[in-house]
Copies of this chain bind each other. A is one copy, B any other.
Amino acid sequence: MELSDIQTFAAVARTGGITRAAEELNTVQSNVTQRVKALEAEIGTPLFERHSRGMALTGAGKRLLPYAQRMAALSREAVLAARDDGEPKGPLAIGSMETTAAVRLPPLLADFHRRFPAVRLSLRTATTADLVAGVLDGTLDGAFVAGPIAHADLTITSAFREELVLVSARRWASLAELRAGTPESGPTALVFRTGCTYRQRLEQVFVEYGWPSAARFELGTLDGMIGCVAADMGVTLLPRAVVERSAMNGSVAIHTLSPSHARAETLFIQRSAGHQYSALEGFAACLKKDDQVIAA
């Protein structure tokens, strides 16, 4: 049993089909078929149930899958550990919420790059849910997500504290005015795609304000969102710092919320198991240092 067999198996399990797995692995179907069959022969029991629209895991397959994932993760870590002589260098994949990336990360990343120029940092923005998944499956080395969160396989450190504020067009000078001037069902909520924690928070706020069924409008970018708010398309919930540093700051009104709604903590997560990757260690060190500056 070789690692490539394991990875083939995992790809088929994940995609639920030979064809899709083959595409993902950059090879042809027949090849995948044969590898899977060979693996089944070696283990001595079928791993998939074949039915006409794809493959489903059998009991044995379900038992094997977590091992496959752990082995794949281990092999990735092994190479990093061997290459890693303690000097931060090489690739480092960091994930972040859009909002954090906009205002908190630029100075941090600048500092990090100054201290560890040999690290090739890549930044991916996504929702908290996707980021957690990314860190767990090894796609990301670490990520900034919205708290609270808890997971046995994650090491979690507090990174930033944010004050969430409701943002509306400038014409609404106060929350009271906004509530008075909008229809019964409430204003349109401008939100990120599903998985974003701030979106859930906004839903709570809307429920409290008696707008449980207000319209939703999904946007993919932060600037787009603030732009739409400025154009009075609706309201949204964002960290105060994000709005204040936005180019559109003058065109929107900021409404302070009660502490229970406003308080939001941004956490930095990384896998807890295994080798401490130097580049990631260096990043965490920067984060800690900057955090102290921020706290001071």
Q: Please report A residues at the B interface, Cβ cutoff 8 Å.
A: 1-4, 6, 42-45, 47, 59-61, 63-64, 67-68, 70-71, 74-75, 77-79, 81-85, 275
Contacts and interface: CB of A to CB of B under 8 A. Distances in A.
B44 A75 contact: no
A74 B75 CA distance: 11
26 contacts: A1-B3, A2-B2, A2-B3, A2-B4, A6-B75, A6-B78, A42-B79, A43-B79, A43-B83, A45-B83, A60-B83, A60-B85, A63-B81, A63-B84, A64-B81, A64-B82, A67-B74, A67-B75, A67-B78, A67-B81, A67-B82, A67-B275, A71-B71, A71-B74, A71-B75, A74-B74
Q: Which residue, A47, A68, A77, A78, has most C-beta atoms of chain B within 10 A?
A: A78
Nearest to A2: B2
Contacts of A64: 78, 81-82
Contacts of A67: 74-75, 77-78, 81-82, 275
Nearest to A61: B82
In terms of DSSP, what is the predominant structure of the interface of chain A? Answer: helix
A2 B7 CA distance: 11
